Amino acid sequence: MSDPKSADVLKIAVLGAGSWGTALAALMARHGHQVTLWGRDPVVAAAIDGQHENTRYLPGIPLPDTLRATTDLATSLVDADQVLVVVPSHAFTETLRKLAPLRPAKAGVAWATKGFETGSGRFLHEVAEEVLGPDVPIAVVTGPSFAKEVALGLPTAVTVHGADAEFAQAVADVMHGPAFRAYTGDDMVGAELGGAMKNVLAVATGVSDGMQLGLNARAGLITRGLNEMLRLSAAIGAKPETLMGLAGLGDLVLTCTGDLSRNRRLGLALGRGQSMDEAIREIGQVVESVQTADEVMRLANRHGVELPISAGVQAVLHGEITPVDGLRQLLAREQKPEYPDTLFR
């Protein structure tokens, strides 16, 4: 387990040199920690190391001179006190498997990846427990946080959830600073559900805005989307307060309203009548909402929870219905009480 040495400088390995991994690595380096960023792309690594800029993912934003980058995983992990994994969810399992034999014995593992394991639909903490074993402290970092704004030093709040309270606090401590608030909690299931589901719901609000349906429609979709999050979270044993906090409501509002969100931009393009291929090509980065929508609906069906907005998004993403038909189906649903009686009991 990471040894929180009071005000000491910690050695931190950040795995994943995309926009979010780079932003978090820069944040911790600015807080005085020794941070090494690992990425697969030698051009990106060389630019971070030599020019102090991620020219591909965060162009024009200066990075700390002290931030190091490498394409050699073993080098990044030497003597690390903490490991932070920030790769897309489809690469999460493979990255953990490569990390496991190289991880220093003292180093806990956190991740800022959102989504489910591709194929199995497992939560990422379930993957981590299996790959790393039960004795390695783990935590998830989540919340409303566009990478570009964090890299620019704009105010941001996230939450760190883990069963090992000491490790969750240690992860929060290295991130917490003048413009970055890091809260803690112990509900990994709820934190991960919120981080994944908001990407699906952001497509819905993007479609609505792309169709120019107005701000009332957007607010209605966000609120009813939160209702879907809460009902599914109750079925799988998460805490409702987690979904009402930064991991759920916070991330949902940001992703549904902010045009830096890739999932929102996908919805906007579809709502304007563009094809899926055109939309993804235009965005130019990984958009994981198709796979995430499938996993959310698989989880909902397993627990017998009806999620009309998420189901509509899944159908639109697979080309089974048009956005117009999806909207028509939502509006044609029967009237009902806003919340089931049992939700908060």
Q: What phi and psi, each to the nearest 5 degrees, are found at residue 79?
A: 60, 20
Per-residue burial over 57-69, b = 16 or more CB atoms within 10 Å of its CB, e = otherwise? bbeebebbeebbb
Q: Which residues contact 10 (CB under 8 A, 6 or more apart)?
A: 2, 4, 33, 34, 81, 82, 174
Half-sphere exposure of 22 (CA within 13 A, CB side): 30
Q: Which residues contact 28 (CB under 8 A, 6 or more apart)?
A: 12, 14, 35, 174, 175
- Rounded to 10 deg, the angle between the 289-303 and 308-317 helix axes is 140
Question: Mind giving me the DSSP string for 43-76?
Answer: HHHHIIIIISS-TTTSTT----TT-EEES-HHHH
Mode of pairing for the β-strands spanning 156-161 and 180-185: parallel
Measured distance CA(73)–CA(231) in Å, rounded: 40
Q: Which of 106, 198, 239, 336 is catalytic?
A: 198
| Angle, CA 111 vertex, CA 49 and CA 240 arms, to 5° | 145
With tokens 């760190």, the residue in question is: 160
Catalytic (active site) residue 239: no
Residue 327 burial (CB < 10 Å; 0-12/13-18/19+)?
Answer: buried
Measured distance CA(203)–CA(290) in Å, rounded: 10
**Residues labelled as active-site residues:** 198
